Amino acid sequence: MGHLPVTVNDVLRCIDEFVAFIVKHDDPEPLLQLVRACINDRDVDALHCLADTNQLGWLTSRDENDMWRWKHGRLRDGLVGRWLAARVCQEWKTGELSAETLQWMAHPGLSEAWALALVFAPDARMRLRLARALGEVAPLALACALRLGLFPRNQRLGMSFGMISRRCLH
């Protein structure tokens, strides 16, 4: 497959569409034919190009179907966390979190992605708001954030996470 002329924005849109697909379908390593049915062909072709260069993952064949494999689980969780943070921030701008987002927040398989979403929150206020929401719905995500040591230089934020986590455990 030849390389497509794509911009950085094209690649970011492609990644966001792909991440949205895997979160909505609860399938971190989907068959590409399923992805192709939900996102546009150009984005799927861009995924092929990313696989060719092995930047994010690669394609394997299973029963004559291509299946996406991530290069590393932490890379996947980081990209999912980036997408989740953007979604949460957008929803809070227009109101409250949707039932779908709250359902994803409660999904234990997304705990590390939610922890990494804290990194992608645009500012400390939004980070603390997200931490409080996670404390209510997904305390495991806060435990992951603390375990990963995501904010070692920000003692105030780390203490806030610790206090929120402690309240969840009592």
The whole domain housing 123 covers: 94-169
> Domain end: 70, 104, 122, which one?
70
**pLDDT tens figures, 107-164:** 999 999 999 999 999 998 899 899 889 988 998 898 888 888 877 666 566 556 666 6
**Domain identity same for 60 and 98:** no
Q: Could you tell me if residue 146 is inside a domain?
A: yes
168 pLDDT above the threshold of 60: no
pTM: 0.84
Clarify whether residues 100 and 165 are in a common domain. yes
What digits encode the pLDDT tens for the residues 54-99? Answer: 678 878 887 778 888 888 889 999 999 999 999 999 999 999 999 9
Which amino acid appears at position 83 of this protein?
Answer: W
My answer on whether 158 and 111 are in the same domain is yes
Nearest alpha carbon to residue 169 among 129, 142, 133: 142
Residues 121, 54 within the same domain: no
Query: Does position 27 have pLDDT exceeding 80, yes or no?
Result: yes
116/163 same-domain check: yes
Listed residue (116, 130, 106) closest to 74, CA to CA:
116
Long-range contacts of 36-43 (CB under 8 A, 24+ apart): 39/14, 42/4, 42/10, 42/14, 43/13, 43/14, 43/17, 43/18
When divided into structural domains, the chain yields a total of: 2
Answer yes or no: is 1 within a domain: no
